[in-house]
Amino acid sequence: MARTRRTGALAVLLATQLAATACGWSGDAPPTPASRPAPAGTANDRVGALFLGSVDGPRMCTASVVSSPHHNLLVTAAHCVQTLEHGTESGLVFVPGFRDGRAPHGSWPLTSITVDPRWTASEDPEYDVAFLTVAAVDDEEIEDVLGGNPLGTGRGFGLPVSVTGYPNGSEEPITCATRTGSQSPTQESFRCTGYSVGTSGSPWLTADGAVIGVIGGYQQGGYEEAVSYSITFDDRVTALYRRATG
C-alpha cells in the first residue's frame, strides 16, 4: 500500500553512515542500509508529524519546516493533505520533534495548503508535493523558533542525503543516510529499510541542509518499505513554492 498516514552535524552524520554502508558492500551493489532512531537536535526537530485535530488524534504523515519569506511554511507530499476520495484534509496540526507522545515545540495549526492543479485534478504522481502554511503560536512564526531548511532544486541524482520521518508504528522518528538514484528523469529514489506507513512527506536533506525531495511521487512514495521515491525537485516545485509564498 502507499504510505499515506505513511548543517555541520548533518554532514558528519552523512559521512559516517555512508562510510559504514560502503564497508559492507559485496559484489556490484551495496546492501540496503537500515534506518535508526533519529536523535533530537536542531535539524531533526524541524521535522514533525502531521496529526488530525490534535496530538491525540490520528497521525497522518511527516512534514518539515522549509525556509520562506514569511517564516511559516512546511513541505510534505500532496497525497498526505489532498486526495480525490477525501478532498482537502482540514483540521491538521504539525507537531515538530514529536517523541513519546510529547510535543516539545508545541502544535502548529495549518492555515492553508498549496498543491499543483494537476495533482488536484487527477493525483498525477509527477506533482505529489505540497506546501503548507501554519499559524503563529504565541506570536512567533515556526521558522523563527526552529529555523528552516532551504529549498534545493536542480541538484541532479546520486546525492548523499539524510532522510528523517515518522513511521506510524513508532513513537520517535527514524533517520537514514543514503544516496539518491534515478527512477526516471523526473522521479528519484533511495534505499533504506524502515520507511513504512506515516513516512510520506519525509524530507530528503543534503549535507548543506537543503531539502531536495520528500517521500511521495511514484507509487505515492513506494510500496516497499526499503525503497522510497520523490518527484525530482525542479521547476515544478519552484513554481509551486512561489505560489505558496506569493
pLDDT in tens, 32-62: 999 999 999 999 999 999 999 999 999 999 9
Q: Identify the residue with better confidence: 104 or 16.
A: 104
**pTM of the predicted structure, to 2 decimals:** 0.88
Amino acid occupying residue 51: F
Distance CA 233, CA 211 (A): 9
Please give the CATH architecture assigned to the domain spanning 44-148+239-245: Beta Barrel (2.40)
Residue 95 has pLDDT above 70, yes or no: yes
Say which residue the cell 538514484 belongs to.
181
Confidence of residue 140 (pLDDT cuts 50, 70, 90): very high
* 8-41+149-233 and 44-148+239-245: identical CATH topology: yes
Please give the CATH architecture assigned to the domain spanning 8-41+149-233: Beta Barrel (2.40)
Q: By the 8 A CB rule, do 96 and 146 touch?
A: yes
Residue 107 has pLDDT above 50, yes or no: yes
Residues 6+ apart with CB under 8 A from 125: 187, 216, 217, 218, 219, 220, 231
Length of the chain: 246
Residue-level pLDDT at 14: 42
Mean pLDDT on 155-173: 95
Residue 214's nearest CA partner among 109, 66, 68 is 66
Confidence of residue 112 (pLDDT cuts 50, 70, 90): very high
Distance CA 33, CA 226 (A): 9
β-partners of residue 96 are 48
Residue 29 has pLDDT above 90, yes or no: no
Residue 89 has pLDDT above 50, yes or no: yes
Domain edges within the chain? 8-41+149-233, 44-148+239-245
**Helix boundaries (H) for 59-154:** 117-122, 142-146
Residue 24 has pLDDT above 60, yes or no: no
Residue 165's nearest CA partner among 96, 114, 112 is 96
